[in-house]
Chain A
Amino acid sequence: MPLQDLFVNLGIMPLRAIAFQSLLLMVAISLEALVLRQRMRLGYQTSMQYAATLNLLATSLGWVIFLIAESMLPPPLRSQIISVVLFNRFYPNGWFDMLPVLTVVSAMGVFFATYWVKLQGLIWLMVLLGRAPATAATESESRHQRYEIARRGKPAQRQDHSSRTLAVLEANALSFTAILILLLLHQGAITL
């Protein structure tokens, strides 16, 4: 049967990863849209679009980095990644004792890297969509704006900046927490 042959040739497929990642992305996007909408006073659709763009940016960038890094790791570490992907566990080899520490450190690294990527992504996205007050203002500060700065004692832009920074940080923290809880639940469901 040709269809059977096709199945045999397809081998092992990352179907669970695709399903699970889609689910996590949807959760993360809706949560972050909520935070962006409240913190940055955006419209419903706009916040959804921003959150979707930022999360897809971070995810696809993460995949690219993973795929490059995986091919450059030393074989013992690489086989630990294979073990996690295929069997959901580490196996005892020379790296075994360091792995929990390595996992926690890299998870924290991923959190801050994601935060940075999302913040930069948001700035670029706003520039791209022509909704960037930041660049427009620094290039040509109008008289009114200079007056505002002088009157309030601090530039209005800076306030906008910090609110954006805080909004992205809060959104990222919230979505990471949700994803972590879901992953732990999933892990519990698998092992029980």
Chain B
Amino acid sequence: MVAFIRRTIESLVDFFLPDSYFAWQTVIYMSLFSWLMSLLARVLGTTAFTVGVMATLSWIMLALGTGWGLEANRIRPFGIPIAPWVAGGILCLFMFGSWGGEWLQPALTAWPLVSFGVVAVPNLISWDFRPKQPAPSVRQQLVLLFFLSLLISSWFQFYFRIQAWIQDYPSLVTDNFSQSAFVYRLPGQSTQLSTGVTHLSMAEIIMREQMDGKPWSSVERWLLNEQGQRQTLQREVQNRMANQPSLENDLWQVDFQPFTSGDGYDIKIWAIWSGPTAEATGYYLEKSCSLMPVTQGARYDTSTDMEDQPFASTRWANLTCQLDTPRQAGHPARYTNRQS
């Protein structure tokens, strides 16, 4: 038991206090020391420059020490020397992490290139900062490594480019990517509402303003000029969507069609997507509304000016819409079961 503890302590001491000063532990200690000094400098209220120099030194030492430590202990998962990657990652964290905001994209994009730099600099510059020429085989390895890191950096950048596309065209997320040869969606992600739903709600609001609570006869007149109303509706939706500017707005087109049903009408409002989609024939979102005549008494029970209304039999329009907006493939069938 005692022997075990002694051996543990000895190996710990060996780990923390190496035999030679020329070891990775020294660099880590220098990094810690530099960091403490930067803290001390901050407490003492020195200039920001002093604190910055101390912190920068500390970060660089940390990167160097970690890389050296990993390499010295031959930590190579799957045979890949990860030391330059870890050191490059620490350097990138330091360089871009202090930016705040959108730092992840430049940091990840620069990571492979910085890691390449970590490998290349000791080969290209000697200890006294003079350029040196490595052997041809090393040069070949460095060239290969450079293009490989450029390729990996491009992959990261491609990832961020896809995220930018989705920012520009948010409705793409709701689609299905199983056909794609490029992208894969990790399972378990919730799909959000399409922007088309906003267009549909906007169209519903406009139609409500035009028809709901208006006399039935004027509503029927409104419906007579269907083609004109359709254009007005499209223009009006585009106008109101202009305060949420998005590249996607031009790709949604709103349309509607009344179908007679009993005393009143079933109105279908559609948001038709004309952008990229997995569906060969495109798709549209549909909102079902019903436009029914109600007699004045039933509708305006609590109205104060009820006794002023001379015609008790006047009928008013009542527009009710369903909340769900099912997505359907193809193009809306405007002229089927139309009775006019």
Asked if A179 CB lies within 8 Å of chain B CBs, one says no
Contact of A53 among B147, B158, B251, B274 (CB under 8 A): B147
Chain A contacts for B190, CB-based, 8 A: 8
- In chain B, positions 165-185 with a C-beta closer than 8 Å to chain A are 165-166, 169, 172-173, 175, 177, 179-185
Size category of the binding interface on chain B: 35 or more
- In chain A, positions 43-63 with a C-beta closer than 8 Å to chain B are 49, 52-53, 56-57, 59-60, 63
Bound Cα distance from A12 to B183, whole angstroms: 6
A129 engages B140 (CB within 8 Å): yes
Query: Measured between C-beta atoms, what is the minimum distance from B107 to chain A in Å?
Result: 16
A128-B150 in contact given A82-B169, A85-B183, A87-B278 (Cβ < 8 Å): no
A128-B181 in contact given A12-B173, A14-B162, A60-B151 (Cβ < 8 Å): no
Type the 1/0 row for A174-191, where 1 means its CB is closer than 8 Å to any CB of B: 000000000000110011
A14 engages B143 (CB within 8 Å): no
Contact of A190 among B148, B154, B173, B179 (CB under 8 A): B179
Contact of A11 among B143, B166, B175 (CB under 8 A): B166
Type the 1/0 row for A55-91, where 1 means its CB is closer than 8 Å to any CB of B: 0110110011001001000010001101101111101
Query: Measured between C-beta atoms, what is the minimum distance from A62 to chain B in Å?
Result: 9
A56 engages B276 (CB within 8 Å): no
B169 engages A79 (CB within 8 Å): yes
Query: Measured between C-beta atoms, what is the minimum distance from A167 to chain B in Å?
Result: 18
B182 engages A17 (CB within 8 Å): yes
- In chain B, positions 151-208 with a C-beta closer than 8 Å to chain A are 151, 154-155, 157-159, 161-163, 165-166, 169, 172-173, 175, 177, 179-186, 188-190
B binding-site residues for A, Cβ under 8 Å? 136, 139-140, 143-144, 147-148, 150-151, 154-155, 157-159, 161-163, 165-166, 169, 172-173, 175, 177, 179-186, 188-190, 247, 251, 274-278, 280, 282
Q: Which residue of A lies closest to B248 (CB)?
A: A79
Query: Measured between C-beta atoms, what is the minimum distance from A85 to chain B in Å?
Result: 5
Size category of the binding interface on chain A: 35 or more
B188 engages A86 (CB within 8 Å): no
A binding-site residues for B, Cβ under 8 Å? 4, 7-8, 10-18, 20, 49, 52-53, 56-57, 59-60, 63-64, 67, 70, 75, 79-80, 82-83, 85-89, 91-93, 125, 128-131, 186-187, 190-191
Bound Cα distance from A91 to B151, whole angstroms: 29
Query: Measured between C-beta atoms, what is the minimum distance from B193 to chain A in Å?
Result: 15
Chain B contacts for A191, CB-based, 8 A: 179
A125 engages B143 (CB within 8 Å): yes
A129 engages B183 (CB within 8 Å): no
- Please classify the interface of chain A as helix (H, G, I), strand (E, B), loop, or mixed, using the class held by over half of its residues: helix
B189 engages A8 (CB within 8 Å): yes
Bound Cα distance from A85 to B158, whole angstroms: 11
Q: Which 5 A-B pairs have the closest CB atoms?
A: A83-B276, A63-B154, A56-B147, A60-B150, A17-B182
Question: Could you pull out 14 A-B pairs where Cβ atoms are within 8 angstroms?
Answer: A10-B186, A13-B186, A14-B158, A49-B144, A60-B154, A63-B155, A64-B150, A67-B157, A79-B276, A86-B183, A89-B280, A92-B274, A190-B181, A191-B179
Q: Which residue of B lies closest to A10 (CB)?
A: B186
B276 engages A17 (CB within 8 Å): no
Chain A contacts for B163, CB-based, 8 A: 11-12
B159 engages A53 (CB within 8 Å): no
Contact of A85 among B140, B155, B180 (CB under 8 A): B180
Chain B contacts for A186, CB-based, 8 A: 181
Q: Which residue of B lies closest to A91 (CB)?
A: B276
A89 engages B186 (CB within 8 Å): no
Chain B contacts for A87, CB-based, 8 A: 175, 177, 179-180, 276-278
A12-B154 in contact given A53-B143, A87-B278 (Cβ < 8 Å): no
A91 engages B180 (CB within 8 Å): no
B186 engages A7 (CB within 8 Å): yes
A91 engages B182 (CB within 8 Å): no
Query: Measured between C-beta atoms, what is the minimum distance from A43 to chain B in Å?
Result: 12
B161 engages A16 (CB within 8 Å): no
Chain A contacts for B188, CB-based, 8 A: 4, 7-8
Bound Cα distance from A67 to B153, whole angstroms: 12
Contact of B184 among A13, A52, A129 (CB under 8 A): A13
A17 engages B147 (CB within 8 Å): no
Query: Measured between C-beta atoms, what is the minimum distance from B171 to chain A in Å?
Result: 12
B182 engages A85 (CB within 8 Å): yes
Interface centre among A13, A64, A89 (most CB of B within 10 A): A13
Bound Cα distance from A85 to B190, whole angstroms: 21
A91 engages B154 (CB within 8 Å): no
Chain B contacts for A131, CB-based, 8 A: 136
A15-B276 in contact given A7-B188, A56-B147 (Cβ < 8 Å): no
